[in-house]
C-alpha cells in the first residue's frame, strides 16, 4: 500500500461499489461524521443515512449515498458494509421524492410501533437521499 493512503472498500448487498487506496474517507457515523486516515485507531461504527466522501489527490473524488450499515476501521483499512449504496451522481431526484411521499403515507397508515418506526426510518433515508442531490 502506498505511504499516506488507506485502503477503502464499500460493499452493498448487490455489489462491491469501490475498492481502492485513497487519502481519506469521511463516513456518516451514527454519532457523527468521522474521517479515516492511514494509522486510524481501530473501531467499528454503525452508519446513519448520509454521504460518504472519498478524498484523493487533494479533493473529493467520489460521493456515495449510504442508507445505513456498518464501518470497520483498522490502521490500514476502512471497510463499509452498506444496507444500500448509490453514487450521488446516479440519484434520481423524482424517484427520491416519490420514495419520501410513499414513506410518509406508510407512516400515516402504520398500525403499530414497529410499522411506525420502519416508516420513520424510510422517511429519514428519503430525506437524506434528497439532501444528497443538493
Residue 42 counted as domain residue: yes
DSSP H helices, 4-112, are: 93-109
> Are 76 and 121 in the same domain?
no
**Average pLDDT value for residue range 84-89:** 94
pLDDT attached to residue 1: 62
What range defines the domain where residue 72 resides?
A: 6-88
**Average pLDDT value for residue range 100-105:** 94
> Are 65 and 37 in the same domain?
yes
- Residues 6+ away with beta carbon under 8 Å from 36: 6, 8, 24, 25, 26, 27, 73, 78
Residue 70's Cβ-side half-sphere holds a number of Cα atoms within 13 Å equal to 4
58/48 Cα distance (integer angstroms): 26
% residues pLDDT > 90 (the chain) = 91
pLDDT attached to residue 134: 79
Amino acid at each position: 500500500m502506498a505511504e499516506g493512503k488507506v485502503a477503502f472498500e464499500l460493499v452493498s448487498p448487490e455489489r462491491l461499489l469501490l475498492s481502492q487506496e485513497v487519502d481519506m474517507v469521511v463516513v456518516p457515523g451514527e454519532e457523527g461524521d468521522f474521517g479515516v486516515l492511514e494509522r486510524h485507531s481501530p473501531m467499528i461504527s454503525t452508519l446513519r443515512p448520509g454521504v460518504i466522501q472519498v478524498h484523493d489527490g487533494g479533493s473529493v473524488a467520489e460521493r456515495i449515498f449510504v442508507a445505513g450499515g456498518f464501518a470497520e476501521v483498522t490502521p490500514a483499512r476502512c471497510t463499509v458494509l452498506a444496507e444500500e449504496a448509490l453514487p450521488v451522481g446516479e440519484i434520481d431526484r423524482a424517484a427520491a421524492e416519490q420514495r419520501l411521499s410513499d414513506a410518509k403515507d406508510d407512516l400515516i397508515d402504520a398500525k403499530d410501533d414497529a410499522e411506525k418506526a420502519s416508516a420513520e426510518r424510510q422517511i429519514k433515508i428519503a430525506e437524506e437521499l434528497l439532501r444528497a442531490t443538493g
